[in-house]
Amino acid sequence: AQSVAQPEDQVNVAEGNPLTVKCTYSVSGNPYLFWYVQYPNRGLQFLLKYITGDNLVKGSYGFEAEFNKSQTSFHLKKPSALVSDSALYFCAVRDADNDMRFGAGTRLTVKP
């Protein structure tokens, strides 16, 4: 069965600095990887996904993620963080036979 891990419960960065939110995965076949963001009292919003092709995927709000097959990772990145990026971020994985499974989430706090 597929699984995903987000090793950090909390990430703190200063506004204007680059940010990274980490994600590693485990699947039996080709991975289909996703990042979602959740603002307080809201549902999840899709940010970006990796299906195939270029390992660097660009998504909404200036976010990007790098797929690394050898390290089974799919870290979320942004060159310059904004205070408004503060939210809960979820990594998710899906393989050919199963539903979408989510990591535990990482709370990102961007301080002015």
Partner 1 sequence: KAGVTQTPRYLIKTRGQQVTLSCSPISGHRSVSWYQQTPGQGLQFLFEYFSETQRNKGNFPGRFSGRQFSNSRSEMNVSTLELGDSALYLCASSLGTAITGELFFGEGSRLTVL
Kindly list the residues in this chain that would bind partner 1 in the complex (CB under 8 A).
32, 34, 36, 41-46, 49, 51, 90, 94-96, 98-105
The sign one gets for the Cα dihedral 45, 48, 50, 53 is positive
**Nearest CB to partner 1, comparing residues 41 and 70:** 41
**Nearest CB to partner 1, comparing residues 14 and 100:** 100
**Least gap, CB of 101 to partner 1 (angstroms):** 6
**Nearest CB to partner 1, comparing residues 45 and 80:** 45
With left for phi above 0 and alpha for psi between -120 and 50, is residue 72 left, alpha or beta? left
Cβ pair 85, 108 in contact under 8 A: yes
Radius of gyration of the chain (CA): 13
**Least gap, CB of 99 to partner 1 (angstroms):** 4
Tokens 């069965």 correspond to 1
**Nearest CB to partner 1, comparing residues 81 and 105:** 105
**Least gap, CB of 71 to partner 1 (angstroms):** 22
C-alpha torsion 96→101→103→105, nearest 10: 130
